[in-house]
Structure 1
Amino acid sequence: MPAFDKKTTATEVADAFAADIKGKTVIVTGVTAGGYGAEVARVLASHGAKVVLAGRSSKKIQETAENIRKETPKAELRELVLDLSSQKSVRSAAEEVLKYSGPVDVAILNAGIMGTPYAKTAEGLESQFGSNHVGHFLFTNLIMPKLLEAPAPRVVSVASVGHFWGPVRFDDYGFEEGKTYDKWAAYGQSKTANILFAVEVAERYKPTKLKAFSLHPGGAATGIASSMTKEDYEKFSDYYNPDGTPKGDWMGTLETSTATHLVAAFDPSIADKNGAYLVDGNVANEQAAPYALDKDQAAQLWTLSEELVGQKFAPPSAQPAAAGLN
């Protein structure tokens, strides 16, 4: 298998797995132009995937679709309005997906908000936890029947090295209704939840063909940092100058920061590492905080998440192997 590192681009990964990508249906959440999701969608479309562009703004989805079609005029694109901060919107989007003909091969859960002022989702959850984790939890479970139709389905949960800023606060995930809110601890909690979600999906769906992975995408200048303030740049002075420009060479590009998305989605050599955390295109469980890969906490988070969406999700029994295939 090809070797990947922090300088590998998404296109290079896609070239390596071109045969696996062509013709596959891939849902990408969070596809605003200039962001990770839009770049992932662009590369997938250029390699013949059928890409579902999922985002909360139809206008932004269309902008990304237009950009992709300038490069790949015959790109097979589909629009899906999905507001992860509203469980009603999530359920509506999932109903639409369940009507698709054919399977969904991969769900890349890329959408996210970071370091935002205290706010609540439509259901009253702290917005970073509610959008980054709970919305994706609900959406993925609701579209699971379409994923399980695929021959080698994968769920890719985009986390962050920012998970080190906080574990899941099971006793107070809402920061006392905002009274003790710390936006970076809240972001850390949501990113830890992204990793734990992949761990538990892998565990629950062991009898099936489904694989799940989480990842740290790297660093690139995107709109997700729009909530950062002068005080934040001072807080992270090891990484940023006071004017917000990065220090050193830690920040990559959109092209390099999306390579790991595609490794997690298509690299057949990691199939036996189900539930793993990836960094720079490689399995890197040793780079995750121990609490983020803890199976007990993963199971506890699943139970909490079911409570927060008011629905239980039981995995199916083992899927029989296709007749005549070795």
Structure 2
Amino acid sequence: MSAKWTDADVPDQSGRVALVTGSNTGLGYETAKVLARRGADVVMAVRDTGKGEAAAATIRKAAPSSNVAVHALDLGSLDSVRTAGAELAAAYPRIDLLINNAGVMYPPKSTTADGFELQFGTNHLGHFALTGLLLKNVLAVPNSRIVVVASMAHKIQAKIDFDDLQWERRRYSRVAAYGQSKLANLMFAYTLQRRLEASGQKTIALAAHPGISNTELMRHVPGTSLPGVMKAAGLVTNSPFTGALATLRAATDPAAQGGQYYGPDGFRELMGHPVLVSSSKQSHDVSVQERLWTVSEQLTGVTIEV
């Protein structure tokens, strides 16, 4: 392995099925493309299937022998998640990699189809439900992995406010709401790993973050619509390709272990190549993790049996 972990370090993925949410653009697209190049059968689970098909066509050109499929999934609708979960479970009895990548960041205050605050509902609850619906298929494969894409933002104004999870009482803060959703992502990964390990499963759960990556996720950040701002941002952020490396390492590095968290090796984890990093103290609070799990089951109607 090279001194800096890169896509060249991704082992052969032939015969493996990798499902990547939100993979028509940004980090998810780069993740799907590398996995396809390494031989995986890639399932692109996306909200906009038109954009998904266009992205899949580009990947097929880059990896002519790849098997790339597109499936509709709107993580902001539990009806869509249930439908996709049932269809995907039937189509793919064995799933080697489930990569929970899709997300929204800093949108104006809005809700999902089910009335949840958009960032919490999409980033956490949608993926929680999808994982629960597909878990049997993942557990059917020894040494399979579930990777949750988190963020450094889990440390910024972030806590799980069980008294107002949906921001119905407080003045809305898009930054704090995003932080809560990303903290929930991490807590989900850690709790899932603990339960997998306790039940003797060989499947593992890990987390990763891209640092600051110049993707479409940035479109709601104030000022990014101004001329030249996004181009300038590219000078001080990871490219989508480099940002995706942390996810790829968590998903494929033979040395990776359950419960680990990968992020960039640069200054304050803003940029760079993936290494093991640490998350906030509160992300490891087991009592909050377990309460969040219970509440997530109640809100989604999906009970996760490990």
Maintained 8 Å contact 1:13/1:259: no
Q: How does 1:295-314 map to 2 (within 5 A)?
A: 295-314=286-305
TM-score normalized by the length of structure 1: 0.85
Structure 2 residue aligned with 1:171? 163
1:276 has 2:268 as partner: no
- Among 16, 20, 37, the alignment partner of 1:24 is 16
**Change in 2 beyond 3 A, CA 1:220/1:121:** same
What one-letter code is carried by the residue in structure 1 that aligns with 2:36?
A
CA displacement, residues 293-325 of structure 1 (integer Å, 9 cap, x when unaligned): 22222111101101111232222xxxxxxxxxx
Once the 2 structures are TM-superposed, how far is the Cα of residue 246 of structure 1 from its aligned partner?
4.9
CA distance in 1, matches of 2:192, 2:159: 18
Once the 2 structures are TM-superposed, how far is the Cα of residue 100 of structure 1 from its aligned partner?
2.2
CA displacement, residues 129-177 of structure 1 (integer Å, 9 cap, x when unaligned): 0000000000001100100111211110000101112122122111125
- Among 257, 261, 266, the alignment partner of 2:252 is 266
CA displacement, residues 170-209 of structure 1 (integer Å, 9 cap, x when unaligned): 22111125x5110000000011111101001001111201
Maintained 8 Å contact 2:214/2:233: no
SS of the aligned residue for 1:84 comes to coil
CA distance in 2, matches of 1:85, 1:115: 15
**Change in 2 beyond 3 A, CA 1:276/1:294:** farther
Structure 2 residue aligned with 1:157? 148
Structure 2 residue aligned with 1:255? 241
Q: How does 1:112-191 map to 2 (within 5 A)?
A: 112-165=103-156, 166-176=158-168, 179-191=170-182
CA distance in 2, matches of 1:132, 1:249: 27
Once the 2 structures are TM-superposed, how far is the Cα of residue 278 of structure 1 from its aligned partner?
1.4
CA distance in 2, matches of 1:51, 1:84: 19
Structure 2 residue aligned with 1:225? 218
CA distance in 2, matches of 1:55, 1:142: 17
Structure 1 residue aligned with 2:267? none
What one-letter code is carried by the residue in structure 1 that aligns with 2:17?
T
1:211 has 2:204 as partner: yes
Once the 2 structures are TM-superposed, how far is the Cα of residue 264 of structure 1 from its aligned partner?
0.5
**Change in 2 beyond 3 A, CA 1:140/1:243:** same
Once the 2 structures are TM-superposed, how far is the Cα of residue 243 of structure 1 from its aligned partner?
3.7
**Change in 2 beyond 3 A, CA 1:270/1:73:** closer
What one-letter code is carried by the residue in structure 2 that aligns with 1:276?
Q
1:53 has 2:39 as partner: no
**Change in 2 beyond 3 A, CA 1:243/1:2:** closer
CA displacement, residues 206-234 of structure 1 (integer Å, 9 cap, x when unaligned): 1201111111112221111111223x89x
CA distance in 1, matches of 2:107, 2:150: 16
CA displacement, residues 62-107 of structure 1 (integer Å, 9 cap, x when unaligned): 0111111121222101111100000000000010111125410010
Maintained 8 Å contact 1:32/1:61: yes
Taking only the aligned residue pairs, the percentage that are identical comes to 35
CA distance in 2, matches of 1:94, 1:153: 18
Maintained 8 Å contact 1:278/1:284: yes
SS of the aligned residue for 2:91 comes to coil
CA distance in 2, matches of 1:125, 1:170: 13
How many residue pairs align between the two structures?
Answer: 294
CA distance in 2, matches of 1:86, 1:180: 24
Once the 2 structures are TM-superposed, how far is the Cα of residue 244 of structure 1 from its aligned partner?
5.0
SS of the aligned residue for 1:264 comes to helix
CA distance in 2, matches of 1:61, 1:114: 20
SS of the aligned residue for 2:256 comes to helix
Q: How does 1:101-120 map to 2 (within 5 A)?
A: 101-120=92-111
CA distance in 2, matches of 1:246, 1:299: 42
CA distance in 2, matches of 1:101, 1:245: 40
CA distance in 2, matches of 1:248, 1:32: 20
